[in-house]
Copies of this chain bind each other. A is one copy, B any other.
Amino acid sequence: MSGHTVTSFDEDLGAIDRIIRDMGHFSAAMVDAAVAALLNGDVAMAQRVVADDAVLDTRQRELDERAITIIAKRQPMAQDLRAVVGAIRMASDLERIGDLAKNIAKRVTALEKSVAPKGFSHSIETMGQLVHQQLERVIDIYIARESEALNPLRTDDEKIDVQYTAIFRELLTYMMEDPRNITPCTHLLFCAKNLERIGDHVTNIAENAYYIMTGSQLPANRPKMDETGTIIPLA
């Protein structure tokens, strides 16, 4: 961020950084609220999460318009251009994270009158916390431009996947124990999957942050993936 003669360009980039930071914290709060609403069957809180999604959509459009104006007006080269294009991509991932939090919140209505199996809440709470921490961290690392902090973040994402696979197995067991668990557990399965997908978007953000800071891409194959596709069928 140093060495520009046109300091107003730095101001333009700074404004984009602030939108990314705001979107990051806002979406992380949405994830927290969605999981809390799910665990407590709190329909009112869930409805707020659903409504909040529009805020992220608006901020994403704002960022896109600013980014395009910057490209058109300043015609940035190399690193500056990467920062602008990378920010467009990050905003897109953050907007998707908001969508996924909204999807979790929308299932709260379906689950309200069902009973989630006891003992399950701890697993999903742990997964929600992991995802929330990863999201806050990647945004902080990006704002501070600490590229060397991004690689451990990607490895840590595997913890989310391990947790997701454990939840997947756990929910299948509950469904087999009692058919009345099938509908609520199916909704919970999608909630867990949404958290896992939020983890994927965090990985995308980490990749874009790396690209912005270094100009090179992290390897194409992310270490993480949903392993439940290869779980040996239990029934």
Contact = CB atoms under 8 A, between A and B. Distances in A.
Interface stretch (A22-30, A156-164, A185-193): A185-193
A155 interface: no
Number of this chain's copies in the assembly equals 2
A184 B233 contact: yes
Nearest to A234: B183
Interface of A: 54, 57-58, 61, 64, 68, 71-72, 75, 77-78, 81-82, 85, 88-89, 92, 103, 106-107, 109-111, 113-114, 172, 175-176, 179-184, 186-187, 189-190, 193, 217, 220, 226, 228-235
Given A88-B88, A179-B179, A182-B172, A109 B229 contact: yes
B114 A230 contact: no
30 contacts: A54-B220, A58-B220, A61-B217, A61-B220, A64-B85, A71-B85, A85-B88, A88-B89, A89-B92, A106-B226, A106-B230, A107-B229, A109-B229, A110-B228, A110-B229, A110-B231, A113-B233, A114-B233, A114-B235, A172-B182, A172-B183, A175-B182, A175-B186, A176-B179, A179-B235, A184-B233, A186-B189, A187-B229, A187-B233, A190-B228
